[in-house]
Structure 1
Amino acid sequence: MMWKFNEDFSFVKQGNQFILLSMILIIVMGLGSDKFYGIFGENNYVTIHLMMEMLITVVTMSISIQTWLITPYILSNRVLYIGALFLTISLLEMAHALSYKGMPFFITESTPYASTWFYMFCRLLLSIGFLIIFFVKEKEIKSSYRWFIYSLPFAIITCCFGVLYGPTPILPPLIMEGEGPTDLKNILQYTAVALQLVIMVLLLKNFKKAPKIIFLLLCSSIYLIMSDFLYTIYQDVYDIKNFIGHIFELGASYLLFRAIYFSSIEKPFQQLVDTQEHLEKSREKMHHMAYHNEITNLPNERFLMESLKKDLYISKSQKAILAIGIERISAIKASLGSTYADQMICLIAQRLKNVLPEKYLLCLLREDYFVVYIDEVNNTHQLTQLSQQLQYVMEESFQIQHFSLNSQLNIGVALFPTDSYREEELVRFALYAMHEAQKSPTRLRFYESSISKKTTEQLLLENDLHDALANQELFLDYQPQLDLHTGQIKSVEALVRWQHPKKGWISPGVFIPIAEESGLIIPIGQWVLETACQQVKEWEAAGLPPIKVAVNLSLGQLFQQNLVEIIHHVLEKTQLEPKYLQLEITESMTINIDHMTTILQKLRALGVTIAVDDFGTGYSSLSYLKDFPIDCLKIDRSFVQKIHSNSTDKALVDMILSMAKHLQLKVVAEGIEEIEQLTYLLDGKCDTVQGFLFSKPVPPHVFQENYQTLHKNAKFILNSISTSEV
């Protein structure tokens, strides 16, 4: 992953200085050792060597002290062994420096013999020690155990002194005066190189586990190998190769120190810093999430209420709360799903922000309505103009994937201090006005005291409606439809009713809009569909002839992605033939022609029939009549009732009948209450009628028991018309 690479390998840039140093030293050697032989003055080489060894000793001793100090907290056996190893190396380096030829008397007269062996012990011990530590399984140790481990370096250095300064030399010399390193020294030096190469291979295999630490260790190994090589080819102490070898050795020690320091101090500290930064960012994120909506990133209700508590009472100037409701958003969420609803809310939020001045506070409350806080209002005309601008920008459709969705805004306004001095009441009153705004032609309402009681009742009713279906408070009545060509009742319309346990019968004109706004129309609509289909089969089992049932579909249902599958499942479950089910849509649902055409074609393919209810009351183009697979038009009762008193309504009914005839569509007229209305429709060749003249909507058992009586009454009415005409 790219971020991992950037994080782990940024330290490579830090190695540029070491690469540059290496190149300079190699160039110096490439120019020729003879030119730089004894360049520092032969009398100064002992001092220079002492300084180099002191620096190496300081570095290695620092590593030892550092690990000693951190082991009580880390308690790792590997860390403890590394500390003991470098304590041993620092003691050997110190002994090497003190026994170097030219140094003052140390145990015996200084000679290359002891000094070179101390160095070789140090070099071999470093490689062997690292290999052993590498293969040791890491485990936790007791703090007191470090005293024992750190005593071993002193035992080792004592043994070395015993071997090198004993009465009889045991080990052969590694340096011959005037000749340089012996073959034994070179063999031991190359052995150290071989061991170092093995270490490098092992490091490379584990590079991904700790890139920075291993990179430093690899660089240290390379410097050690270069120093080993130079120590095998130099002639004497005045050779520039000897000096450069010490520089590489010092560089290797420093890199080792950097690796140990990074692993034991810098890395844990950086992890602690990163953890603190992460916690701080998490706190900021949690705070942001607590005060902002996740979908739109707008301030939420908590943010709004705290802002109002802080700003509302600074001055007594007029302020305003605008509550903005999104028309049909609940139905869209219930039918298409949360993804579509969330995308639409985001698009609406963006349009609102484009209109509102930056000084106005725009919030999203409960993911279905917005609130705007305006801290300075000159007059109500200013709020009316702003509301109209917000509504205007919603006129353009929202294109979400393959759906073209439309929505309107219902805006309620509450004023401070006119309507309330309290922030909670101010927001609540604006919401009350917002609910009332959907009944206004302008979809804008300023709060009035009379709204509170009415809105409270409506909200309580919505709460009760959530339980109405589960508590079997909803039921269906069926209104017979008379076929004027045969005089037979061949179909009925299913109409949902609600018997509230406390408030009694509630009109569909009251609870259906609530169901549509809250999204409850989806489960209610599915229950109506299944109940109506099942009822037709029960009538058939009771001996009634096959009867077609008409069921209204809501806009929310039509936008359900699985509507066709649901209807198919209901037909299979109830064993009702598709031709006995008629689905009714309203004219206002035909706005999204592409989507509606696809859905209706799929429904028509099931074998059901499609009717347009309340035809003539909508505002959409009549072009859908030729595009949609429609079987029937239903003339709205408002036209039928004024068919004799209003010439315009009479002309509309004539037009609908004529249009249906030419388009080969059936016509159902609703609301027939008078003989004169029926007579006119008979003359106009209307196909089917329904209304109180024949029967009001009745419970299913009443329809079943009075089926023959309904036919006799219908026949009597039709005969009376024929007789009067004669």
Structure 2
Amino acid sequence: MRQEERKTIHAAILGAVLFLLIQIFRTPLGRIEDKDLLIAFYLILGCCTVAFGFAIFAQGWLLFANSLSKARLYTSALFLGVSIFDFLHVLGFVGIPGITSYISPEQSLWLLTFSRLASALGIMLIFSREDQLVGNGVKGKVFRNAFVVILLSLAVFGLGNLIVSGLADEPWAETARDLMNMAILLVYLLGAAIIIYPGKSEKSASLLIIIRSLVFFSLAQVFFMNLFSVGELDYLFGMLSSAAAYYLLLTGVYRLTIEEPFQENQQAEARINYLAYHDELTGLPNRRRLMQRMEEVVLQSEQDKSRGFAGLVIMNINHFKNINDSLGHYAGDLLLQLVARRIGDEVRVNEELFSMGADEFAFLMTERTGLENCLVRAGELLRLFETPVGLESGEYHISLSLGVSIYPGDGDTAEQLIQNADTAVHNAKDQGVEIRRYIPAMQMKAKERLKLENDLRRALERGEFYLVYQPQVLLETEEIVGMEALLRWNHPKRGLVSPVDFIPIAEESGLIVPIGEWVLKTACMQNKMWQDAGYHPICVSINLSMRQFLQPNLAGKIDAILKDIGLDPCYVDLEITESMTLDKETAFDQLNRLKRLGVCISIDDFGTGYSSLHYLKNMPIDRLKIDRSFVSDVMEDSNNAAIVSTITSMAHHLKLKVTAEGVENKDQLHFLRQQHCHEAQGYLFSKPVKAAEFEQSFLRPLLEMPS
């Protein structure tokens, strides 16, 4: 329980105990005969009450004009009127000469009753609602409303004075006033209940203080009600409780409308400042903070040449996009947090870890004695991920690529050092190595890569892509039973660009989706044209990228394309990779939708991923394609031979077809036949060729086919 909540409970207990003690000791207290002393105390307490009430008006209406809120203005207007009522009541009750001719002590009690009624209703209505700052557009309206409250208070005072002058001497007036005081007590208690009940379960400190003021308002009302006996002491204790209530209300309104908004602004500014220099997901300092630290390191190194080398390592998670796309963004975010935690736990003195955004981290070593030590430390960071990372869906092996820049040598400024380390890490990923130190030649390659991406964005609309087809042969008869469509790019200036160079760029940039759709349409149209020309129909294999495969409407797109072309789905084979099935539930759902179209589905490059045999046997697939890396060394490497033999045997048991890729010589062909591999493709049969050459060399009219 918070301190303010305890204070509120203690205030309620204190009020109840105070009232009981006064009732218990009422007889000895009643023997106080010095009435002038009691009147003097009453006058002092009354003046304090009026002063607190006017202070509420002053702080809301006159002070802190830049922190206006509706609660402030309405409360200040309300208590201006209430203060006037209380002031006139005190003057009339104590019998100030010149006042009693207008306000008798009896009439002053009615003024007190009207004052308490106004405060009870006003507090309940104002603080039972969510407070709002007064914007410039509505400031005039709120001021007008507050001014109306003041006028209403004064009008009620005038009307009340008229009523009092006619009612004060009536025999039933005292009973009527007691009933009104009872109603006012109920309004105070109802106001406290309404403020406590709605909204958040945890109330702000200011609202709890206002609730405490309502407790003392209620206690004062109990004294003014005269349920047991009436006398100056009851009114004295009532005025004492009122003074406490006014003081608490003054404090609560100040905290609610001025102090708490100010603290909230400070917290918001601190939060904005934190987010400006930290990554929200991992909590690590971000790129902006790294730039500051690098500038500090460069400046310190210039001032103190004995500090030695400073090393910056940029770390990139390999294939993070596949994990993020296949397992979902929640799993991707969790992976980033786990990677940050694993590296952060190993940070030593004079080392700092930063988040560069997305899947990149920066590791700064501010004091290293030489280049070799920096590279050794980078290798230690790599070894942190030799053990798998545990996500909710299982454990996954991940690897990092590292780019290193050293000061001095690889840049004179913080910006150069960061940029060069970033260039080095992308070079490491392109080259398939773990660590690269920056060299100037990398910058030229990075610029070339950027230019290639820009050219790639225009290649599709300029018609620079074309397809080649590689035949797939039935090993038993060496009959052509299929073909794989492969993408090629004829750049107007560079000439033929290798798929190894442009496919990764297309995948990273997202261009692979429209390019993949073009490949699908073009290959299916070509296959349909050959069938319409009277050639024996064969199946065309088309590779799907990860981004394509994860499209929710992929099956609908393919169905529309096939219907538009008029190609039977059984002549289309869609090839996916094992990495696309990391998220088993999503993959199964997508594969089932594709399978319902009637197309064939193959797993390409089988054996290079992490497919589970448990899931493999339930997948709606038709074929496994053995990766060329196993086939190429099958005669020299017994392990590769065992892998090919195992995959083929497993496929037969699962009633799946097997296609071997990369067959280049007769020995490999003979081995595959011994393993009862169904089909093969590779340079032994033909390299990928254009459509015209494929038609001339491998397609046969239906009439020439054996019956």
TM-score, normalised via structure 2 length:
0.76
Q: 2:37 matched to 1:51?
A: no
Deviation per residue, 1:655-696 (Å, 9 max, x gap)? 479747964654434456678877887788664344456554
Amino acid at match of 2:559: L
- Per the TM alignment, residue 69 of structure 1 is displaced from its structure 2 partner at its CA by 5.3
Count the aligned residue pairs: 648
- Name the counterpart of 1:124: 110
- The corresponding residue for 1:249 is 235
- Residue number in structure 1 paired with 2:294: 308
Show the counterpart of 1:215: 215
Q: 1:287, CA displacement in angstroms?
A: 0.4
Contact 1:588 1:618 in 2 (8 A): yes
| Whole-Å separation in 1 of the counterparts to 2:12 and 2:651 | 91
Q: Counterpart of 2:413?
A: 422
| Residue in structure 1 matched with residue 698 of structure 2 by the alignment | 710
Deviation at 1:309, TM superposition (A): 0.9
Give the match for residue 324 of structure 2.
333
Q: Is 2:146 the partner of 1:140?
A: yes
Q: Does 2:176 match 1:191?
A: yes
- CA distance in 2 between counterparts of 1:442 and 1:249 reads 89
Pick closer, same or farther for the CA change 1:686–1:281 going to 2, 3 Å. closer
Give structure 1 stretches of 5+ with no counterpart: 99-105, 108-113, 164-169, 173-183, 232-244, 719-726
Offset of 1:123 from its aligned partner? 1.4
Cα distance, 1:393 vs. partner? 2.7
Partner of 1:13: 10
CA-CA distance at 1:278 after TM superposition: 0.7
What amino acid maps onto 1:26 in structure 2? Q
Amino acid at match of 1:18: G
Q: Which residue of 2 aligns with 1:280?
A: 266
Q: Which runs of 5+ in 2 are unaligned?
A: 63-72, 126-143, 196-209
Alignment of 1:559-708 (within 5 A): 560=550, 562=552, 566-567=554-555, 569-571=557-559, 573-575=561-563, 576-585=567-576, 607-614=598-605, 631-634=622-625, 655=645, 659=649, 663=653, 666-671=657-662, 687-691=678-682, 695-700=686-691, 702=692, 707=695
Q: Does 1:26 pair with 2:18?
A: no
Q: Distance in 2 between matches of 1:527 and 1:419?
A: 43
Q: C-alpha displacement at 1:444, in angstroms?
A: 1.4
Following superposition, the deviation at residue 698 of structure 1 comes to: 3.7
Once the two structures are superposed, the pairs formed by residues 72-151 of structure 1 within 5 Å of their partners are 73=62, 74=73, 78-95=78-95, 118-131=104-117, 139-141=145-147
> Quick check: 2:631–2:644 contact (8 Å CA) kept in 1?
no
Q: 1:338-349 to 2 correspondence within 5 Å?
A: 338-349=329-340
The separation in 2 between residues aligned to 1:534 and 1:687, in whole angstroms, is: 27
Aligned to 2:280: 294
Q: Would the alpha carbon gap of residues 505 and 189 (structure 1) be closer, same or farther in structure 2, given more than 3 Å must change? A: same
- 2:368 aligned counterpart, secondary structure: coil
CA distance in structure 2 between the partners assigned to 1:425 and 1:468 by the alignment = 32
542 and 139 in structure 1: CA distance in 2 versus 1, 3 angstrom threshold: same
Aligned alpha-carbon RMSD (Å): 4.8
Checking the alignment, whether the CA contact within 8 Å between 2:78 and 2:153 is kept in structure 1 is no
Asked whether the equivalents of residues 391 and 408 of structure 1 are also in contact (C-alpha less than 8 Å), the reply is yes
CA spacing shift, 1:684–1:270, aligned 2, 3 Å? closer
Q: Give the secondary-structure state (helix, strand or coil) at the position aligned to 2:285.
A: coil
1:255 and 1:381 mapped to 2: Cα distance? Answer: 78
Measure, in 2, the Cα distance between the counterparts of 1:442 and 1:519.
24
Contact 1:88 1:153 in 2 (8 A): no
CA distance in 2, matches of 1:396, 1:355: 15
Query: Is the Cα contact below 8 Å between 1:482 and 1:488 reproduced in 2?
Result: yes
CA contact (8 A) 2:630 2:641 kept: no
Distance in 2 (CA, whole Å) between partners of 1:19 and 1:637 is 88
d(CA) in 1 for partners of 2:614, 2:61: 86
* TM-aligned CA distance change 1:224 to 1:681, over 3 Å: closer
Q: Match for residue 137 of structure 2?
A: none
Q: Is the 8 A contact 2:120 2:188 kept in 1?
A: no
Distance 1:131 1:622 in 2: 79
C-alpha deviation, 1:213, in angstroms: 4.5
Per-residue deviation, 1:92: 0.4
Question: 1:191: how far off?
Answer: 2.8
Moved more, 566-575 or 583-592: 583-592
Q: Could you state the TM-score of these two structures normalised by the residue count of structure 1?
A: 0.74
Asked if the contact 2:559–2:597 (Cα under 8 Å) also holds between the matched residues in 1, the reply is: no
Cα deviation, residue 300, structure 1: 0.7
Task: Give the whole-Å Cα distance in 2 for the aligned partners of 1:87 and 1:670.
Answer: 100
1:103-153 CA-partner distances (Å, limit 9, x unpaired): xxx99xxxxxx99x9332221232245447878999433899799889979
Shift of 1:89: 0.6
* AA in 2 matched with 1:461: L
**Which amino acid is 2:147 matched to?**
I
- Structure 1 residues 418-445: Cα deviation after superposition (integer angstroms, max 9, x where no partner): 3222211111221222122235675112
Residues of 2 paired with 1:588 and 1:557: CA distance? Answer: 13
Aligned-residue offset at 1:502 = 4.2
Partner of 2:504: 513
> In the alignment, residue 229 of structure 2 is paired with which amino acid?
L
Q: Distance in 2 between matches of 1:661 and 1:627?
A: 13
- Against the structure 1 CA distance between its residues 271 and 534, is the aligned structure 2 distance closer, same or farther, given a 3 Å change threshold? farther
Distance in 1, Cα, partners of 2:672 & 2:665: 11
**Which of 200, 213, 237 pairs up with 2:185?**
200
CA distance in 2, matches of 1:123, 1:59: 18
Comparing 649-658 and 45-54, the one that deviates more: 649-658
Distance 2:583 2:251 in 1: 67
Change (3 A) 1:364 1:639: closer
Q: 1:709 to 1:128 in 2, by over 3 A?
A: closer
CA contact (8 A) 2:52 2:250 kept: no
What is the rounded CA distance, in whole Å, between the counterparts of 1:681 and 1:675 in structure 2?
10
Could you tell me how far apart the structure 2 residues matched to 1:132 and 1:657 are? 88
- The 1:553/1:94 distance shift into structure 2, 3 A limit, reads same
Aligned to 1:364: 355
